[in-house]
Chain A
């Protein structure tokens, strides 16, 4: 039961993008086409799930055991960077078109604060191993959900007559704010 709670909480109620405002950079940067947004979401989900799976043992079995938990930031960043490298290699091999479409945002998953935030929250909330992996996966699903919805809206707006001062990033940020307000509606879904 707790696993389901963690999943719903991380993907909807405490959506990383729309309630914690983590990972805004790719959220605004890669959300102009739904196809790319979905792929970016999937890549990030993959990295997040693996991050949870890798950083939890590092934290519990190395940092806590040898009494150096203050190294968590460094250790997590190293692990995330390595995972992103792996994903980058894989995408470059399997789909050069996607590799070009994601462009700079793919290596930037390394510094995506949502990924690091996930690892830190996982430690902060004392999740066990299974819970951590579910949490990582759910966070990725939440990120994918947000970025795909955003790209859907932005694709529709391509054909709209937008006043000049609102064009581009400014309107994207306004939409992000409205989506965040809409997501607040999920707050009543689970008590506590």
Chain B
């Protein structure tokens, strides 16, 4: 058979098969037509369509369906914030509750300069892998430093600083919680925006040992507990100072005497992306 005829036969036969099947599918499509709730599409237009999962549902479409069924309040969309909450509420005809902005807070400041290294880790450079071997830092509670949280962040709101611990950009974080789920050591927590006072340490080691392995660890000395102006505002638990956000004033007063400077108030909102980059640039120069 000549090449020309073969090409023609191939094209015709494939085209024929395709056309027959297409016609068949077109008929079937008419027959099995399903009607979808048109409001789902409208809601999807309001939602940010980032499918971040911060609301607790797998994807924006699921949330839209739950919203229509009345199972989800209109302010659960963390990526959209207040604007989307208001639009959703207007669309659904329900009252919008004020959306509290949630932020991720990294509760460890033990980077290269502060944390003692007592091992060398040569495995795969991810936190999950390093966590199986306890990593290279002596502290088994702190940041492993391989940046899995930064990789998990879809909003460009995190970076590893020069010291090897992640920072959250106050202006970029939308509060989806992806970094919290990514961290194998659970040192990242979600907090409402009005929480200012944080103990930047998760070490449950005894004070003397904690101080030995990391310069900025909480040694559970109790000074912040005494200095807190509201009794019981800060308490000691498992060798850690714990802030009771319902009562403790979110100011600097109780943090002044901290010997290791691991409790701070209000440093989170200073870390914007611009500020972080300008510091990095200054260091480079």
Using CB atoms and an 8 Å cutoff, list the residues of chain B in contact with chain A: 1, 6, 9-10, 13-14, 16-18, 21-22, 24-25, 28-29, 32-34, 132
Contact = CB atoms under 8 A, between A and B. Distances in A.
Chain B interface mostly: helix
Contacts of A89: 28-29, 32
Interface string A71-89: 1001100110010011001
Interface residues of A, number: 21
Chain A interface mostly: helix
Given A85-B25, A165-B132, A93 B17 contact: no
Contacts of A86: 24-25, 28
Contact of B32 (A66, A92, A165): A92
Interface of A: 58, 62-63, 66-68, 71, 74-75, 78-79, 82, 85-86, 89-90, 92-93, 96, 164-165
B249 to A, nearest CB: 41
Contacts of B18: 78
A67 B9 contact: yes
Nearest to A88: B32
Contacts of B32: 89-90, 92-93
Nearest to A82: B21
B17 A66 contact: no
Contacts of B14: 71, 74-75, 78
6 A-B pairs closest in CB distance: A82-B21, A89-B32, A93-B32, A66-B9, A93-B34, A62-B13
Contact of B25 (A58, A62, A82): A82
Contacts of A63: 13
Given A67-B1, A78-B18, 14 more contacts: A58-B17, A62-B13, A62-B17, A66-B9, A66-B13, A68-B6, A75-B13, A75-B14, A75-B17, A82-B22, A85-B25, A86-B28, A92-B32, A92-B34
